[in-house]
Amino acid sequence: MNELRSKNFWAEAWRRHIDGYLRARPRCGYWIETFFSKSLTFLEIASGSCRDSLYLAQRGFNILACDFELEVLKLVRNRFFNSSLPLFSANAFYLPFMDRSFDVTFSNGFWVCYSDDSDLYSLIREQVRITRKYVVSFVHNGENQGLLAHFRDLSSRDSLYNIRFLKRYEVLDIVRSSGISYKNVYFQKFGGKMDCLYSRVVNNIPNPLSSFAQLLVPRLYNFQSWQETERIVCIIELY
């Protein structure tokens, strides 16, 4: 897992995977759009392909994106040169922003790259420093045994999938142990069987909900069990 912290690893990984990431739906972007007001300011940390931030910028959100891998940001900028999304190269442990610069900061699949809890404490404290209202992190759900097995199989062929899965109580312990002050911390469900509604055809039957799916699916996740849910959304509400 340590190689997931290496710039050389990510430069090569993004060259291999960026097309696939950009072809996929910006599900995290749909979720953010569903649960947060467009009147707020946003920063995506460890944005990688910037798929979700690009979507949110297109939808009129006031959003910036940052990643420590400059080469992937260059790839994104070259492909989306007409996008209004500002991109920054930044180390998530030392972000180049003033205290309380953004209403909402979020990362998707970033915490799972770190096996050492002390690294996560540092990341959380730095994210809190630049945030006014909500710190949001999407992490792979350790309660989903099927997904765990699937990633274990994938990681035997590509170390990109050798990530850390976390259960809700583990995420809560990490937040509490980070030493930050917060008003509340709670969890939402993200990803899972409800994603089938994004398809125009489900089980060979035309799906009449597909055109509304990006409005419906983020809300429908909550009707899944945790064992069927792909990721945990950890939301830290600040004072």
Quote the percentage of the chain above a pLDDT of 90.
92
Question: If you average pLDDT over every residue of the chain, what do you get?
Answer: 95
149: pLDDT confidence band, cut at 50, 70 and 90?
very high
Give me the pLDDT at residue 8, please: 76
Give me the pLDDT at residue 125, please: 98
57-66, 100-109, 135-144, 206-215: least confidently modelled range: 206-215
Query: Above 60 in pLDDT, residue 54?
Result: yes
- Please state the pTM of the whole predicted model: 0.94
| Listed residue (144, 108, 110, 104) closest to 25, CA to CA | 108
Mean predicted confidence (pLDDT) in 3-7: 57
From residue 145, how far is each of 43, 141, 165, 188, 226 by CA, in Å?
A: 31, 9, 10, 18, 10
| Listed residue (126, 54, 125, 57) closest to 90, CA to CA | 126
Residue 111 to residue 116: CA distance in whole angstroms? 10
Mean predicted confidence (pLDDT) in 55-69: 97
Check residues 177 and 9 and name the one with the higher pLDDT.
177
Quote the percentage of the chain above a pLDDT of 70.
97
